[in-house]
Structure 1
Amino acid sequence: MKKLFLIIGAPGSGKTTDAELIAEKHKKITHYSTGDMFRAEIASGSQRGAVIESCVSKGNLVPIDIAIETILSAIKSAPTDIVIIDGYPRSVEQMTELNKYLETETEVELVNTIEVVVSEEVARNRVLGRARGADDNVEVFNNRMNVYTEPLKDIQEFYSNKGILKKIDGERTIAEIVSEIDQFIQSKI
């Protein structure tokens, strides 16, 4: 059975870097970033990639069916039994759809959702400081932050009620954050 860990956090919270470092350390863990999966689909030049690009370039959510297809395909084809996906879910609808799938799925178990917590100010400074792509500007950041924070309380409540939400302070050194997340994941597998 695949053991799934979700890592959520504001744009610039460091969730992708944290997950990458943990997966690099452990050969038994596969990491997927929804952002990386979506960028790869865009780069492929596919029709699905064009739809994804039209959403991402404005800081909007990718349509639910495309997000679920992309993520579920990645989990099922993962080369390891432990999978970390960061940046998902980003809406109550995404959370609900993933939960519906997992309720009937016998091959995948959601072990925990880990939230990397940072202030909006720290998130903004990190995103605008890195300027990785066309979507790293003030207007798009503000939209992405709103898209992230609007459903956050409901997402936190949902996973808290299931007893599978762990909050991590994301305003420390990368080494401290990665160590805490890694120890937590190791304690659950």
Structure 2
Amino acid sequence: MKKLFLIIGAPGSGKTTDAEIIAERNSDDIVHYSTGDLLRAEVASKSERGKRIDSFISHGLIVPIEIAIETITSAIKAAPSDVILFDGYPRSCEQMDELNKFLESDSDVELLSVIEVVVSEEVARERVLGRSRGSDDKEEVFNNRMSLYTEPLADIQSFYESKNLLKKIDGERTIDAIVDEMELYLESKI
């Protein structure tokens, strides 16, 4: 059975970096996927789906649910390891509902926890605008991404809290402190 951990957080919260480090440290047991990386890889492939995805990402908008859920569920099922860290998903109530339907219908995948890496908007803005990785790191696009993240956040938190699955981690500390806490938490759930 695949054991799934979702990692959510604002743009610039460090969720992807945290998950990458944990997966590297535990490469035999844990695999990490970033929704953003999966979608960017599709864009880089220049496929028709990639072109559609790019038209959303380049404007800081959410990729349509059917494309995102197909990309994510394919990655989960094909994962080379039983423990999967998936960051950047869900980003809307619709995505959460669709993922929940998938999890309820597939007994081979169990969601063990949703980990929220918590940072203030000021810290997120400083980190994102300071890294300038691509077109999604401009002020206007950051503002779009931030509002897309914060609008459904209370509902997403409430949903996972009601299932006793939400774990919040302070993302404004050193990377080592964050990763160590997250790794200990993962070990306690596996």
**What's the TM-score once normalised by structure 1's chain length?**
0.99
Partner of 1:7: 7
Query: Aligned ranges for residues 36-185 of structure 1 at < 5 Å?
Result: 36-185=37-186
Measure how far apart 1:99 and its partner are.
Answer: 0.2
Structure 1 residue 18: Cα displacement: 0.1
Q: What is the deviation of 1:112?
A: 0.2
Instruction: State the identity as a percent.
Output: 69
Q: Tell me, what secondary structure is at the counterpart of 1:106? A: coil
The CA distance in 1 between the partners of 2:182 and 2:159, in whole Å, is 20
- Opposite residue 6 of structure 2, the aligned amino acid is L
- Note the C-alpha offset of 1:39: 0.5
Q: What residue ranges of structure 1 are gaps of 5+ in the alignment?
A: none
Deviation at 1:106, TM superposition (A): 1.1
Query: Which amino acid in the other structure matches residue 30 of structure 2?
Result: I
Q: Distance in 1 between matches of 2:63 and 2:136?
A: 14
The residue identity in structure 1 corresponding to 2:14 is G
User: What is the rounded CA distance, in whole Å, between the counterparts of 2:25 and 2:171 in structure 1?
Assistant: 19
CA distance in 2, matches of 1:48, 1:5: 26
Please provide the CA RMSD for this pair.
Answer: 0.4
Structure 2 regions of 5+ residues with no counterpart?
Answer: none
Deviation string 1:38-94 (CA, Å, 9 cap, x unpaired) is 000000111110111000000000000000000000000000000000000000000
TM-score normalised according to structure 2 size = 0.99
Letter of the 1:3 partner, please give it. Answer: K
1:22 alignment counterpart: 22
Deviation at 1:4, TM superposition (A): 0.1
Consecutive aligned runs of 4 or more in structure 1 exceeding 6 Å deviation:
none
Aligned counterparts of 2:133 and 2:47: Cα–Cα separation in 1:
23
Letter in 1 for 2:52: V
